[in-house]
Structures are given as C-alpha cells and as structure tokens.
Structure 1
Amino acid sequence: MKSLLTYLLISFSIYSCNQKETAMLNPVPENIPEEQTPETTDTTKLSYLALGDSYTIGESVKVKERWPVILADSLINRAYDLGEPKIIARTGWTTDELQVAIKGEKITDTFSIASLLIGVNNQYRGYAIAQYEKEFKELLQTAIEFAGNDASKVFVVSIPDYSATPFAASSDKEKIAKEIDEYNQIAETICNKYQIKYFNITPISREADYDTSLVADDGLHPSGAMYNKWVKLFLDDVVDIIESN
C-alpha cells in the first residue's frame, strides 16, 4: 500500500512539472478576448487614365519616356500603389478624333486620376477655335465621369508650343505661338470654371528654341528630357490630388 502511494505521488509530481514546462514554452497572453478581428489594410491600387494626342502617347520617344509613364513611375517611387497608366492617345488626333476613340474603347472603369492634353492638331489643321472650345469642354466632362464624377481627380496639361522646334523653322513661328496661347487660354478658362488643376508646361516647351536636347530625333516632339521637366513641374500637385481624395 505504501509503495502504491509513493508511486502516485511521484507520478503527480512529474505531471505537474511537465505542465509547468509546457506553460513556459507556450505562454498564454493575458487579457486577450476570445475572438479577435485582425487589422485590415487598404490595398486598393490606384489607377490613372491619360487622354490626348502625340504628346501623351510620346511620339518618337521610348515608352518609359512618355510623360504619363514618367509620372506613374514617380508616384510609385513615392510609395503609391499605382498600376500601369491607361493611355488613350495617338499622334495626329484632334479633339473630335479623341472623342471617337474614347467611345470606341467602351471603358466602364473608374479611375483614381485622369489627365487631358489635346488641341495642337486642331490648331495645326486650322480648325475653328470655337470647335476646340466646345469639344474640349465635352472631353473634360468625359474625363470627370471617368474619375467617378469627381472634378478634383482630373488635371489638364497645356499645349506645348511647337514653334520652338526645328520642324517650324520655315513656318510663321509668331503666328503658331500666338494661336497656341489662344487655345491654352480657352482650356485654362474652362478648367477654372470646373475648378480643375491646369498645369502650364508651355514655357518649358519654348526652351527648345535654345536647348536642342529637349527635342526628340524627329525635330518636332519633346524628348524624354523635356517630359521629365513637365512631370517635375506638376508632380507635387498630382500627389496633392491623390492625397485629397
């Protein structure tokens, strides 16, 4: 009987020690509710739509040198989760041709930000400036719709002045510059009406008159170096647009 009692005491002692060791290896945190909901992080990817013509598609430069791509990469470098920009643009497009192309895309997505740069081909072909005013306003309204009907998510880039390029060397450069200014004035006035950010890159485009590194090999369109200057001008403002929405 005594032997049995001794055996039971020893067994209980060993069991108690094992339980203490297990508790030390697997401590139970104090004051934790029975059910916990893990914290969630907003992983929504930002999206960007760029509408335009040769200046937006980046005629005569590499894809990585297009200004919408430079802008997207710059935002990614600032830790914004931005997908590849959706670009609807082609060399030679006028406002009405851009409108047709947008309808053909049949876009149903909503974008975090949207940009518009259009009009140089209207000027180049000698279209009535009243047509530009009407169709630019319509395109701007379309861009707002793509941005979830939120005008604060849209921005416009001014038309560069190609009179400063070698392409226009034998043209009436003063006339071109004057008409580009008239087009840009219309665009800026409409942007002010809708309270949309308007970025004036035209003075930068005129630097090509004395800095050939700002012109692409075709002698007409901006180089990657010029597009970088554009983005540097308005990058912080685009960040503000994103942060305020």
Structure 2
Amino acid sequence: MGAEGWRFAPPKIVAKTGWTTRDLLQAIDDQGLRGEKFDLVSLLIGVNNQYQGLPLRQFQRELDELIDLSLAMVNGFGHRLVLLSIPDWGVTPFGQNGLQNVDQIASEIDSYNAFIQEIAGRRNLHFIEITESYRGIGGLPANLVADDLHPSRYVYADWARTISRVMKAELQQPPPKTNRPDEN
C-alpha cells in the first residue's frame, strides 16, 4: 500500500529511450501486452519520430493505433488514459549544437503536439501539455542527464506528479456506465 492508501501493482514501463511509435507498437506485440489490462496508461511518444525525420502522417497513424491499444488496456475507460505533449529537445545543449535548425525542430514538435492535442480532444482523453514549460527549463544543466539531451530524473518526477494528480482524480470517480447488454 502506498503512502496515500492506493494499492497498485508495480508500473509496467514499456518504451525505451530512442523509440519511435513503431518501436513501441512492436514492443507491445513482442511482450504480449495486447489483451493485458491496466488501471492507468500514459503515452509520451513521438519525439524520436520527429528526430529521425519520419513522416508526420506515419506518427499520426501509429499514435492512433497506440491509443486504440491503450484504451483496450484500460477497458475502454478513456478517463484512465493520459497523453502528454512532446518536449522540445531543440532547447537542450545537444539541440543547440548547430547541427540542427532549432526553429525547424520547434515547428515540427509543435505540429506533432497539435495532433496529439487534437486527437485527445476528439477522443475525449486527458492531454497534459509539458512542452512550453520544458522550453523554459530544458536547457538547464540540472534538468538534463550527462548526454545534454535527455531530461533528468527531476523533470520526469515533475511530469509524473502532474500525471498522478490527473489520475488520482479519475480513480476516485466510478467507471462510466457503458450500457452494454452484458451489464444488465
């Protein structure tokens, strides 16, 4: 039992640093997670699609598939799925090294995030915007790991606190009625 009285199994973190949406879909299959059930799911994915120059349309299609899979994992309870915006890696020392155009990075990240926010709204899912605050702090040494690219544990902890506030509120709500015939 946690400090606040919540009882959970240990979290299952599927994605790894450097993964694209395609990599995450493949891992879900490889780990046999289709059909698994979870109380909560969060998705923060896509920065590596942008970094690798993959087509935005591919990201859109694969994110839509990831959302479908995630909704199945939470029994269709969209209020238990959270989508996060993508942090702008162009503000980091790695991004500022002159090898990439930081304005182009920001513009592409904004396009990805616009789609994430739009699909969250269309599908009535939680959307947590982290990009703008990260643009203000993402280049600070304390907020980065040694590679000068990836966020530090402090940044991830802040994002986790934000997700937990949303999720705690949702877990206190009864599941919505679905009016399925098997529930009568």
Q: What is the TM-score when the length of structure 2 is the normalising length?
A: 0.87
CA distance, structure 1, for counterparts of residue 42 and residue 163 of structure 2: 12
Displacement after TM superposition at 1:238 (Å):
1.4
Displacement after TM superposition at 1:223 (Å):
0.5
State the superposition RMSD in angstroms.
1.6
Quick check: 1:225 aligned with 2:164?
A: no
Quick check: 1:83 aligned with 2:9?
A: yes
- Structure 1, 117-126 or 209-218: larger mean CA deviation: 209-218
CA displacement, residues 98-153 of structure 1 (integer Å, 9 cap, x when unaligned): 11110111124311111111101110111111111111111001000011122121
Displacement after TM superposition at 1:236 (Å):
1.7
- Structure 1, 191-200 or 77-86: larger mean CA deviation: 77-86
In structure 1, the residue matched to 2:22 is: 96
In structure 2, the residue matched to 1:31 is: none
Counterparts of 1:133-172 in structure 2 under 5 Å? 133-169=60-96, 170=98, 171-172=100-101
Structure 2, unpaired ranges of 5+? 176-184
- 109 and 178 in structure 1: CA distance in 2 versus 1, 3 angstrom threshold: same
CA displacement, residues 47-79 of structure 1 (integer Å, 9 cap, x when unaligned): xxxxxxxxxxxxxxxxxxxxxxxxxxxxx3322
CA distance, structure 1, for counterparts of residue 134 and residue 141 of structure 2: 11
- 210 and 90 in structure 1: CA distance in 2 versus 1, 3 angstrom threshold: closer
Quick check: 1:200 aligned with 2:129?
A: yes
CA distance, structure 2, for counterparts of residue 156 and residue 143 of structure 1: 10
Is the Cα contact below 8 Å between 1:204 and 1:226 reproduced in 2? Answer: no
| Secondary structure of the corresponding residue to residue 106 of structure 1 | coil
| Secondary structure of the corresponding residue to residue 122 of structure 1 | helix
- Structure 1, 187-196 or 226-235: larger mean CA deviation: 226-235
Residue 127 of structure 2 aligns with an amino acid whose one-letter code is Y
Is the Cα contact below 8 Å between 1:116 and 1:157 reproduced in 2? Answer: yes
Displacement after TM superposition at 1:210 (Å):
5.4
In structure 2, the residue matched to 1:121 is: 48
Is the Cα contact below 8 Å between 1:114 and 1:153 reproduced in 2? Answer: yes
In structure 2, the residue matched to 1:191 is: 120
Displacement after TM superposition at 1:234 (Å):
3.5
Is the Cα contact below 8 Å between 2:93 and 2:139 reproduced in 1? Answer: no
The percent of aligned pairs where both chains have the same amino acid is 31
CA distance, structure 2, for counterparts of residue 89 and residue 210 of structure 1: 23
CA displacement, residues 148-200 of structure 1 (integer Å, 9 cap, x when unaligned): 12212111111111011111111211110111011011011111111100111
State how many pairs are aligned: 171
Structure 1, unpaired ranges of 5+? 1-44, 46-75
| Secondary structure of the corresponding residue to residue 239 of structure 1 | helix
Counterparts of 1:50-89 in structure 2 under 5 Å? 76-89=2-15
- 100 and 242 in structure 1: CA distance in 2 versus 1, 3 angstrom threshold: same
Residue 38 of structure 2 aligns with an amino acid whose one-letter code is F
Displacement after TM superposition at 1:211 (Å):
2.7
